[in-house]
Amino acid sequence: MDGSIGIWLAIAAMTCAAVFAVLIPLSRRTDTAADARDVEVYKDQLAEVDRDAAAGLIGPAEAEAARIEVSRRLIAAAERAGASGAAGEGMSRRRRIAAIAAIVVVPAIAALAYGLRGQPGYPGQPLAERQRAAPQQSDVATLIGRIEAHLATNPEDGRGWEVVAPVYLRMGRLPDAVRAYSNAMRLLGVTADRQADLAEAQTIAAGGVVSAEAKAGFERALALGPGHPKAGYFLGLASEQDGKPEEAKARWTRMIGEAPADAPWLGLLRSEIARLGGTAPAAAAPAPQATPGPAQIRAMVDGLAQRLAADGSDFDSWLRLVRSYVVLGEGDKAREAAASARRLFAAEAEKIARLDSLVNELGIGGS
Amino acid sequence: MSPEIGHYALVLGLALALFQSVVPIWGSRKGDATLMATAPSVALGQFVFVTLAFAVLTHAYLVSDFSVENVYLNSHSSKPLIYKISGVWGNHEGSMLLWVVILTLFSALVALFGRNLPLSLKANVLAVQGWITVAFLVFILKTSNPFARLAPAPFEGRDLNPLLQDVGLAIHPPLLYLGYVGFSMSFAFAVAALIDGKIDAAWARWVRPWTLVAWIFLTAGISMGSYWAYYELGWGGWWFWDPVENASLMPWLAGTALLHSAIVMEKREALKVWTVLLAILTFSLSLLGTFLVRSGVLTSVHAFAVDPERGVFILAILVAFIGGSLALYAWRAPLLKQGGLFAPVSREGALVFNNLFLTASCAAVFVGTLYPLALETLTGAKISVGPPFFNWTFGPLMVPLVIAMTFGPLVAWKRGDLLAVAQRLTVALVVGIAAIAVTYAVTTGGPVLAPLFVGLAAFIIVGAMVDIAERTQLFRAPASVSFARARGLPRAAWGTAVAHAGVGVMLLGIVGETAYKQETIVQMRPGDSVQVAGYDLTLQALVPVQGPNYRDLVARLQVREGGVPVGMMEPAKRLYTARNMPTTEAALKTRGVSQLYVSPGDATADGSIAMRFFYKPMVLLIWIGTLVMMLGGLLSLSDRRLRVGAPKPSARRAAAVQAAE
């Protein structure tokens, strides 16, 4: 039942059916004479009294009294049945009113009530169909489908889990990602990378909060591979979330000091330190590399962008967003964000000046 | 299929329900047969549309259509099929829709099988059903629309509350609703009779099958719910006097009273006014139950204030229906003629006794459930009324009730002889006393009163058999005569005996479980053993297991009886990953009608785990008892007298064809 024509046809057909449910009995003649059904019941009760008396369930004298009782009801019922059936006048008028109610009022009420909330133009979105519909998604979907089928029969294949885990993470199937990472780690053995990936997935699944479990995971990862950048970054984030931003800054600053000069994540750490109101050590600051950042940065940046789209009054957040886009290597978006901020704060010369200096510093000017 | 079709079908159902609320009753006031005759057809139409809406919603769950908000909030694409289906009514919106589906189902059944009803009564009954349907459809469309859409549609759903991902949930609510809503039929009959001002023995007979059906389903629903709580919550109890449980128990008690008072009315035309009142009260309590569970008042009075729209709406429905029907009752009931007279000691007297105690116990539950709520609303003070209150009010009321229950069926109508009945119950009394003696001899420990209750249970069961033995003259007449009489006995008599025996069976289970259960809590490591009631349980290992949408930590326990292995028990701590919510999966091992019950606690870092072990003797009898009671209800339902008054269908159909030509 696709398309808007289909839904209107269905609505029309259903309305017709409803109207006919009323019209058909109205068009039939019904006789009232068959209304003596209680007589049947009392006749049966008389027989029942006899049965009870035979079984000794009621004394003979009581049975006689009961028989009289029931007979009285029987006579009354028979009289009532004879008396009814004298209600002719006004029938055709009433029938006409009922018919009009069926044809006009029933569809009108339906249309009114449906009109309040209905969205007839919005077709259903079954998951399978949607995955078929979007082409680039369908590649991923079929790929995942194949891996999932494979894993269903070979759940002990750690490689499969390892392949599918980051895909889940990117698709936002976070619990599945956590499951896949933990399976990969269980089957292939614990390494610093796997441990850190699992904890990262747990953190993203928890909405960006580094839980105690995830924190323990990052600590294990750091123990296995000292200086593991992802673990270090998140442990800093955990300190910040614990209300110890100084500790976070210290950790990140230490990491920058120990890092090779061309490490791709230096930019991220610098902007994070700046966010906490510190200054990064002025080591040889290379231009941020245009490599896509890890998924967690992506998630946080998207969240920030959404927040600002809803409420753009926080100027410092705008600066952070511009910087983050540059870190992610998305110059266009950075320029877009800078332009939005410029529009919003056009009246405040001091802020515009800060924005300009940032744009110059990041080398995304020229717009 | 577009979810919009379901939405529109629901709206059409509302339009038809409005028609049904007005036109048939107008016809009945004017004596217009044609208008009255629209009711069955419109009722069927309503059922078809509302069911279509339900089917569309179910379809949306099956194909994971997350453009429907309700599906997004309560489903997940990787959920097993059965929980996708049961998820439809595992949430507020879907369960209200199911409520209305069942309501229209009952209307449709009256339309189809109510051929033996007088036209006017049938039209009025269906009109009253129409009012209820309108109220609830407006409620659904206004405050709880299951077809609300989301654009853009999310790619994954939020999953169903893990506690509800259980086969118990798949069956329990539909059964319970069939019971709750079934009592709307008794209500509709009562209100229709009050409108007509005509109520008699025939009415009692017509309303009986509907009351019985509702009672059977409600019994099944409560029983299932109790068993579900027993094994799923992992606390090892089977009844908690929880407000939600009480909400279903109250209509059951009132409904049971109604079932019995309707017998008096049918046989003797007595207790008319009372029976009509009970019919109204029973459904009012069903509505109250719906209100308590659905408005959020129970979690906290404040939850109600957070989302007041739904609660206030149901409260308005509640006030309108209960207040309206009681006002109608106050106005019309004095017009009803009183029926036959009876002596205090008689079958009628016994049934009045039954009604007195059932309504009193219902009132006790009512007070215990609602008093804390009322107090919190008025003064803000939070108190909790716990099991002791109910045990000390409800329990003492039940004892005389079940004793009288054994005597009742043996007492004659109009005027009975208690002494003669007692003599006939000698066998039951002897068996009961023997049971007490044996229980004292066999058991050690346990409450002093417990053997008395075992004796009472035995008395009830044997007493029910005595009733049948008396009626068939078993052991007094030749076997062939008894057999012939047994076959000739009305099914209702069998139904009474079986249902009453079921109460005895249940009582036995309750006594066994409460008085003689054994319980121990142990901190265990793999390799440790524990002894419970003659069973040795050894923890072999703690194994992680990955489920479709959860992770388990399974404790494998080997069970031995007298050194002989009798099987494994595998309780688990389960974590549902989508909601990050832990649950406890208790393990049960059935030995006869008794059970071993293991509920795991949290595993500690040093590899040990706390385990709670129960041995529950005769616990299964609690639910077997309810099954026996339901069987009794079914037997009574199959009694031929309930079909009397149905005109021969073939003759009628021929007449209808002629009329149409």
Alpha-carbon distance of A325 to A323, in angstroms, equals 5
Q: Is A31 on the interface with B (CB under 8 A)?
A: yes
Chain A residues in contact with B9 (beta carbon < 8 A): 14
Q: What is the DSSP letter of B604?
A: P
Most confident of A160-164, B207-211, B253-257, B259-263: B253-257
Are A196 and A254 members of one domain?
Answer: yes
* CATH number of the domain residue A223 falls in: 1.25.40.10
- pLDDT above 70 as % of chain A: 81
Are A232 and A308 members of one domain?
Answer: no
Nearest residue to B525 via CA among B512, B514, B541, B543:
B541
> What pairing do the DSSP bridges indicate for beta strands B529-532 and B609-616?
unpaired
Closest-CA distance, B415 to chain A, in angstroms, reads 8
Closest-CA distance, A265 to chain B, in angstroms, reads 31
Partner-chain residue, chosen from A15, A40, A69, that has the shortest CB–CB distance to B644: A40
Q: Is A178 on the interface with B (CB under 8 A)?
A: yes
Name which of A37, A58, A91 to mutate to probe chain B: the one with the most chain B Cβ atoms within 10 A of its Cβ. Answer: A37
Name which of A23, A127, A144, A156 to mutate to probe chain B: the one with the most chain B Cβ atoms within 10 A of its Cβ. Answer: A127
Alpha-carbon distance of B482 to B465, in angstroms, equals 14
pLDDT in tens, A260-309: 777 778 888 888 888 777 665 554 444 333 343 456 667 777 778 887 87
Residues B639 and B516: beta-carbon distance below 8 Å: no
Tally of structural domains, chain A: 2
What residue in B sits closest to A91 (Cα-Cα)?
B32
What residue in B sits closest to A88 (Cα-Cα)?
B32
pLDDT category at A316 given cuts 50, 70, 90 is: confident
> Which residues lie closer than 8 Å to B591 by C-beta, 6 or more apart?
B561, B566
Partner-chain residue, chosen from A6, A30, A179, that has the shortest CB–CB distance to B37: A30
Closest-CA distance, B158 to chain A, in angstroms, reads 11
Which residue type does A57 have? L
Are A196 and A253 members of one domain?
Answer: yes
Least confident of A159-168, A305-314, B127-136, B361-370: A305-314
> Which residues lie closer than 8 Å to B123 by C-beta, 6 or more apart?
B24, B25, B27, B28, B35, B36, B37, B39
Closest-CA distance, A235 to chain B, in angstroms, reads 22
pLDDT in tens, A121-143: 888 888 877 766 655 555 566 66
Which of A245, A275, A305 is the last residue before a domain boundary?
Answer: A275
∠ CA B410-B416-B417, nearest 5°, is: 90
Alpha-carbon distance of B276 to B284, in angstroms, equals 12
How many CA atoms lie less than 13 Å away from B640 in the CB half-sphere? Answer: 8
pLDDT reported for residue B124: 93
* Structural domain contains residue A199: yes
pLDDT reported for residue B237: 81
Beta-strand runs (E) in B502-659 = 518-524, 529-532, 535-546, 550-561, 564-569, 572-576, 581-585, 587-591, 594-603, 609-616
Alpha-carbon distance of A145 to B197, in angstroms, equals 67
Q: Do A117 and B7 touch (CB under 8 A)?
A: yes
* Structural domain contains residue A11: no
Q: Do A77 and B202 touch (CB under 8 A)?
A: yes
Q: What is the DSSP letter of B640?
A: G
* Structural domain contains residue A220: yes
Q: Is A62 on the interface with B (CB under 8 A)?
A: yes
pLDDT reported for residue A89: 61
Nearest residue to B98 via CA among B40, B128, B140, B126:
B140
- DSSP string covering B280-331, please? HHHHHHHHHHHHHHHHSTTT-HHHHHHSHHHHHHHHHHHHHHHHHHHHHHHH
Residues B589 and B595: beta-carbon distance below 8 Å: yes
Chain A residues in contact with B413 (beta carbon < 8 A): 52, 57-58, 62, 66
User: B272 pLDDT exceeds 60?
Assistant: yes
Nearest residue to B107 via CA among B42, B179, B35, B175:
B42
Partner-chain residue, chosen from A73, A173, A179, that has the shortest CB–CB distance to B156: A173
Q: Do B155 and A127 touch (CB under 8 A)?
A: yes
Partner-chain residue, chosen from A11, A45, A178, that has the shortest CB–CB distance to B577: A178
pLDDT in tens, B370-414: 888 888 878 877 777 888 899 889 989 999 999 999 998 888 888
Q: Is B148 on the interface with A (CB under 8 A)?
A: yes
Q: Do B659 and A90 touch (CB under 8 A)?
A: no
What residue in A sits closest to B77 (Cα-Cα)?
A127
pLDDT in tens, B143-167: 889 999 887 777 777 777 776 777 7
Residue B561 φ/ψ, nearest 5 degrees? -120, 115
Give CA A94 to chain center in angstroms.
Answer: 51
pLDDT category at B465 given cuts 50, 70, 90 is: very high
Least confident of A37-41, A104-108, A267-271: A37-41
Are A302 and A266 members of one domain?
Answer: no
Q: What is the mean pLDDT of residues B22-51?
A: 90
pLDDT reported for residue A285: 40
Helix (H, G, I), strand (E, B) or coil at B615: strand
Chain B residues in contact with A21 (beta carbon < 8 A): 16, 41-42, 44-45
User: B186 pLDDT exceeds 70?
Assistant: yes
Alpha-carbon distance of A293 to A267, in angstroms, equals 10
Q: Do A102 and B153 touch (CB under 8 A)?
A: no
* Structural domain contains residue A266: yes
Q: Do A15 and B12 touch (CB under 8 A)?
A: yes
Q: Is B113 on the interface with A (CB under 8 A)?
A: no
Q: What is the mean pLDDT of residues B63-76?
A: 88
What residue in A sits closest to B30 (Cα-Cα)?
A87
Q: What is the mean pLDDT of residues B445-462?
A: 89
pLDDT reported for residue B310: 80
> What pairing do the DSSP bridges indicate for beta strands B572-576 and B518-524?
unpaired
Instruction: Record the tokens describing residue A251, joined without a space.
Output: 């950790």
pLDDT in tens, A185-201: 888 888 888 989 999 88
Partner-chain residue, chosen from A18, A35, A90, that has the shortest CB–CB distance to B30: A90
* Structural domain contains residue A2: no
More confident residue, A259 or A32: A259
pLDDT in tens, B616-632: 999 999 999 999 999 99
- pLDDT above 70 as % of chain B: 93
Residue B38 φ/ψ, nearest 5 degrees? -75, -25
Q: Is A127 on the interface with B (CB under 8 A)?
A: yes
Are A330 and A253 members of one domain?
Answer: no
Least confident of A159-163, A239-243, B48-52, B383-387: B383-387
- DSSP string covering B334-364, please? GGSPP-----SSSHHHHHHHHHHHHHHHHHH
Q: Is A68 on the interface with B (CB under 8 A)?
A: no
pLDDT category at B339 given cuts 50, 70, 90 is: low
* Structural domain contains residue A235: yes
Are A209 and A266 members of one domain?
Answer: yes
Q: Is B419 on the interface with A (CB under 8 A)?
A: no
pLDDT reported for residue A88: 56
pLDDT reported for residue B98: 93
Chain A residues in contact with B19 (beta carbon < 8 A): 22, 101-102, 105-106
Residues B495 and B633: beta-carbon distance below 8 Å: yes
Are A254 and A326 members of one domain?
Answer: no
User: B660 pLDDT exceeds 50?
Assistant: no
pLDDT in tens, B245-265: 888 999 999 999 999 998 888
Which residue type does B351 have? L
Most confident of A84-98, A175-189, A270-284, B213-227: B213-227
Question: How many CB atoms within 10 Å of residue A346?
Answer: 10
Helix (H, G, I), strand (E, B) or coil at B125: helix
Average pLDDT for chain A: 78
Are A245 and A318 members of one domain?
Answer: no
Name which of A16, A30, A52, A147 to mutate to probe chain B: the one with the most chain B Cβ atoms within 10 A of its Cβ. Answer: A30
Closest-CA distance, B186 to chain A, in angstroms, reads 18
CB pairs under 8 A between A and B: 239
- Three-state SS letters, chain A: CCHHHHHHHHHHHHHHHHHHHHHHHHHCCCCCCCCCHHHHHHHHHHHHHHHHHHCCCCCHHHHHHHHHHHHHHHHHHHHHHHHCCCCCCCHHHHHHHHHHHHHHHHHHHHHHHHHHHCCCCCCCCCHHHHHHHCHHHHHHHHHHHHHHHHHHHCCCCHHHHHHHHHHHHHHCCHHHHHHHHHHHHHHHCCCHHHHHHHHHHHHHHCCCCCCHHHHHHHHHHHHHCCCCHHHHHHHHHHHHHCCCHHHHHHHHHHHHHHCCCCCCCHHHHHHHHHHCCCCCCCCCCCCCCCCCCCHHHHHHHHHHHHHHHHCCCCHHHHHHHHHHHHHCCCHHHHHHHHHHHHHHCCCCHHHHHHHHHHHHHHCCCCC
Partnered with residue B587 across adjacent β-strands are B598
pLDDT category at B190 given cuts 50, 70, 90 is: very high
Query: Left, alpha or beta for B152 (phi > 0: left; psi -120 to 50: alpha)?
Result: beta
Q: What is the mean pLDDT of residues B360-365?
A: 94
Nearest residue to B248 via CA among B223, B276, B275:
B223
Nearest residue to B120 via CA among B42, B196, B202, B204:
B196
Give the Å distances, CA to CA, from A48 to A43, B467, B490, B638. Answer: 9, 19, 10, 16
Chain B residues in contact with A176 (beta carbon < 8 A): 78, 577
Are A195 and A265 members of one domain?
Answer: yes
More confident residue, B623 or A80: B623
Q: Is A284 on the interface with B (CB under 8 A)?
A: no
Can you tell me which residue has the tokens 């007094």? B476
Instruction: Record the tokens describing residue A285, joined without a space.
Output: 């600051």
Can you tell me which residue has the tokens 């995942």? A144
pTM of the predicted model as reported, rounded to 2 decimal places: 0.74
Alpha-carbon distance of A148 to A154, in angstroms, equals 10
Angle between helices B201-232 and B620-637 (to 10 degrees): 160
∠ CA A200-A204-A205, nearest 5°, is: 115
Alpha-carbon distance of A126 to A136, in angstroms, equals 18
Alpha-carbon distance of B657 to B652, in angstroms, equals 9
ipTM of this predicted complex? Answer: 0.80
pLDDT in tens, B468-510: 888 888 888 888 888 888 887 888 899 999 999 999 999 999 9
* Structural domain contains residue A14: no
pLDDT category at A30 given cuts 50, 70, 90 is: low
Q: Which domain holds residue A251?
A: 190-275
Q: Do A58 and B202 touch (CB under 8 A)?
A: no
Q: Do A105 and B19 touch (CB under 8 A)?
A: yes
Query: Using CB atoms and an 8 Å cut-off, which of residues 85-114 of chain A contact chain B?
Result: 86-87, 90-91, 94-95, 98, 101-102, 105-107, 109-110, 113-114
What residue in A sits closest to B640 (Cα-Cα)?
A44
Average pLDDT for chain B: 86
Are A311 and A263 members of one domain?
Answer: no
Alpha-carbon distance of A163 to A167, in angstroms, equals 7
* CATH number of the domain residue A319 falls in: 1.25.40
Partner-chain residue, chosen from B18, B23, B49, that has the shortest CB–CB distance to A98: B23
Alpha-carbon distance of A77 to A122, in angstroms, equals 58
Cis amide prior to A294 (ω within 30 degrees): no
* Structural domain contains residue A65: no
Are A261 and A308 members of one domain?
Answer: no
> Which residues lie closer than 8 Å to A73 by C-beta, 6 or more apart?
A42, B200, B201, B202, B269
Query: Using CB atoms and an 8 Å cut-off, which of residues 200-219 of chain A contact chain B?
Result: 205-206
Are A256 and A317 members of one domain?
Answer: no
pLDDT reported for residue A281: 57
Which of A246, A275, A304 is the last residue before a domain boundary?
Answer: A275
- pLDDT above 90 as % of chain B: 40
Closest-CA distance, A267 to chain B, in angstroms, reads 32
Partner-chain residue, chosen from A1, A31, A114, that has the shortest CB–CB distance to B7: A114
User: B305 pLDDT exceeds 70?
Assistant: no
Chain B residues in contact with A110 (beta carbon < 8 A): 8, 11-12, 14-15
